[in-house]
Structure 1
Amino acid sequence: MHSSIFFVWVLAAITVVVHAVGLAIMLRFLDHRGNVLMTRIGAISTRLVWVACYMVLLHLIAISVWGAFYVWQGCLPDLETAFYFSGVTYATIGYGDVVLAKPWRLFGLMEGLTGILMCGLSTGVFIAVVNQIYQSFPKKIIDQLP
C-alpha cells in the first residue's frame, strides 16, 4: 500500500513537471516570437492552433507516462488498453469499459484529478495567450470591433 501511494504521487508529480516545463518552453518561444502581425486573422489562427496542438501534445505525453506505468506494473494487459484507459481517465471521460483491479483503483482516481487540473492549467494558459493577442491589437482596431 505504501509503495502504491509513493508511485501515484510520483506519477502526479511527473505530470505536473511535464506541463510546467512544457508550458514554460512554449511561453518562452511565444515571447521570443513577439506579436508580429498579430492583427491578421491568419496569424492569430495559426498561433492559436499551434498553442492548442502543443498543449494536446503535453497531455498525450502525460497520458503515455501513466499508461506505460500501468503496463509496467501489470495493471492492464497491453499498451493499447493501458493508453486507452489512461486517456479516458485523464480526461475524466470514464467510460467504465476498462477498470483497474482493486489494489490499483487509487491510480485511476489520482490520474483523473491530476488530468483535470492539467486541463484547467492549459485552459488558463490558452486564455492568457488569447488575452495577450487581444492586448496587442492597436486601439483603432479594438474600437472597430462589434
Structure 2
Amino acid sequence: MLIQLFLATIMSLVTVVIHLTGLAFLVRILRSHHRLVRPLKSAPVAVLLVSTATIFAIHTAEIWLYAFLYLLLGALGTFEVALYFSTVTYSSVGYGDVLLGHEWRIFGAIEGATGILMIGWSTAFLVSMLGQLKLLTHDWLTPEAGPSLKQAAR
C-alpha cells in the first residue's frame, strides 16, 4: 500500500507540474506579440478555441502518462486497455468494465481525484478567460435591455 501511495503522490505532483507548465505556456503564447498571434487576439472565439485545444492536449498528455505507468507497473495488459482505463478514471466516468488488481486500486482512485482537480482547474482557467475576453457579458442582463423585472411580473 505504501508503494501505491508513494507512486500516486509522485504522479499527482508530476501531473500538477505538467498542468501548470502547459497553462503557463498557453498564457505566454496568448500574451505574445508574435505576428502569428496578433490576428488571433482580434477574434475572441479563436483565442477560446486555441485555448481549449491546448487544454485538451495537456489533459491528453497527463492521461497518456498514467497509461504508460500502468503498463510499466504491469497493472494492465495492453496499452489500449491502459489508455482506456486511464481516460475513464482521470475523467471520473469510471465505467467499471476494466478494473485494477487489489495491489493498484488505491493508485487508480488517486488518479481519479487528481483528474477531477485538473479538470476543475482547466474549467476555472477557461471561465476566467471568458471573463477577460468579455464573452460572459450579455445585454439581456442589463436593465436597459428590456422591461424591468417588476414590469415583467405584471
TM-score > 0.5, shorter chain as reference: yes
State the Cα distance separating 1:36 from its structure 2 match: 5.8
Q: What is the TM-score with the length of structure 2 in the denominator?
A: 0.81
Matched, 1:55 2:55: yes
Query: What is the letter of the counterpart of residue 44 of structure 2?
Result: I
Partners of 1:31 and 1:106 in 2: how far apart? 40
State the Cα distance separating 1:62 from its structure 2 match: 0.4
Partners of 1:99 and 1:117 in 2: how far apart? 22
Matched, 1:132 2:136: no
Matched, 1:65 2:65: yes
Matched, 1:105 2:105: yes
Q: Which residue of structure 2 lines up, in the alignment, with residue 121 of structure 1?
A: 121
SS at match of 2:97: coil
Query: What is the percentage of aligned positions where both structures have the same residue?
Result: 35
Q: Which residue of structure 2 lines up, in the alignment, with residue 88 of structure 1?
A: 88
Query: What is the letter of the counterpart of residue 93 of structure 1?
Result: V
Partners of 1:47 and 1:29 in 2: how far apart? 10
State the Cα distance separating 1:37 from its structure 2 match: 6.8
Gaps (5+ residues) in structure 2? Answer: 146-154
Q: Is the 8 A contact 1:38 1:133 kept in 2?
A: no
How many positions carry a matched residue from both structures?
137
Q: Is the 8 A contact 2:41 2:47 kept in 1?
A: no
Gaps (5+ residues) in structure 1? Answer: 138-142
- Name the larger-Rg structure: 2
Q: Is the 8 A contact 1:16 1:118 kept in 2?
A: yes
State the Cα distance separating 1:127 from its structure 2 match: 0.8
Residues 97 and 33 of structure 1: CA distance in aligned 2, closer, same or farther (over 3 Å): farther
Query: What is the letter of the counterpart of residue 80 of structure 1?
Result: E
Partners of 1:59 and 1:69 in 2: how far apart? 16
Partners of 1:39 and 1:86 in 2: how far apart? 35
Q: How does 1:18-57 map to 2 (within 5 A)?
A: 18-33=18-33, 43-57=43-57
Q: What is the TM-score with the length of structure 1 in the denominator?
A: 0.85
Partners of 1:113 and 1:2 in 2: how far apart? 18
Q: Which residue of structure 2 lines up, in the alignment, with residue 140 of structure 1?
A: none
Query: What is the letter of the counterpart of residue 12 of structure 1?
Result: S
State the Cα distance separating 1:38 from its structure 2 match: 7.7
